[in-house]
Structure 1
Amino acid sequence: MAVCTVLGPYHFSFSLALALSSLAGLKAFTGLEELVVDNNLLGNDLQLPRLPTLHTLTLNKNQISFQALLGHLAKATPSLQYLSLLGNEACPNQLVSLDKDEDDYQRYRYFVLHKLPTLKFLDTRKVCRTEQQEAEARGAFMKVVKPKSSDMVVSHFNILLLPLSGVFAKCRYVYYGKHSEGNRFIHNDQL
């Protein structure tokens, strides 16, 4: 069941009961300004028609992991100012993945802002001037790539690690070396 409401000459509101995996039907709506397609099955193969007036796009909780998508968005939506990718693999956040932290999220922001410099608002935060400058200078290098477990080199040696307890314990006898008399106090049974 799909419901389309016309709010003005270029404002449309869509409500769909099905989970979308493609947005091919948007070709007829070239004057679209806002598009909310949260909670769908949209992936990296997402192809938008050219939407020159689209300024707001939310793709929250889809299946986007993204690199090629950002280049496509830059070409298809030149007026894009508001973008949200929360809940996707592309957007690292501590609530979804415990191995992500604030630094991962900030690198993600720099990379997205580098690819889409017209953005004024990304996810839940406004884009500040210093962040935009950092994205221009270093954003291309902020793509985080982690090796897959199959790419990692595995050592063929088994290493036995012994605990170091007692290594840094206090010793009752201290040797300073200034009055050394050699090994004359060591007996054969102590060797």
Structure 2
Amino acid sequence: MDERILEAATDLFLKQGFGRTTLDKVSSQAGVGKSGLYGRYSSKESLFEAVVLRSIATMFEHMVDVSTIDEGRPRMQTAGEQLIDGMLHPRCVALMRITASEAVTFPHLAKIAYQASFDGSVRYVLKALGKEASEEQAEKTARRFVELVAQPLSFQAAFGIDPQDLRSRRSTITAEAILFLREAGYTTSS
């Protein structure tokens, strides 16, 4: 039932936006009773939060496991390209836009979505760094890498820059970020 509810809600939020989606519409499209829906999600905001968090988790589940990449392909380069591809997926861009448009009314939703995406990205980059860096230094590097690689492009996509154009530059953007971090004294070996 949860899966049906989240699928229906995701579909409606993406097609109609936050404002025009109602719990009644979700209930109807999911084929579940209102009591079943309200028993799981007490408000549209809590349902939207679940949709966004599920979407973010799904994005990371579909990424290459960078910890298993052999030495022939630098893991940090792969991690950057994978993050860019994930952040620029049409579903992610659409949910970023909806979240941004509702940030004034529901700032906690925007913060939760941002933090889940950022923290997940940092964990992903930490896998690429492996055990070669100290935990503190690795975390610092991973955070800065995400700030340089993923955040600017997702911001641009959310404001209408063609994701395909952004994606076409992913290798260069990632390589430049790695070079910048090395020059700034961060640990980027993978």
Under a length normalisation based on structure 2, what TM-score does the superposition of the two structures give? 0.31
Structure having the higher Rg: 1
Q: Which protein has the bigger strand share? A: 1
Under a length normalisation based on structure 1, what TM-score does the superposition of the two structures give? 0.31
Q: Which protein has the bigger helix share? A: 2
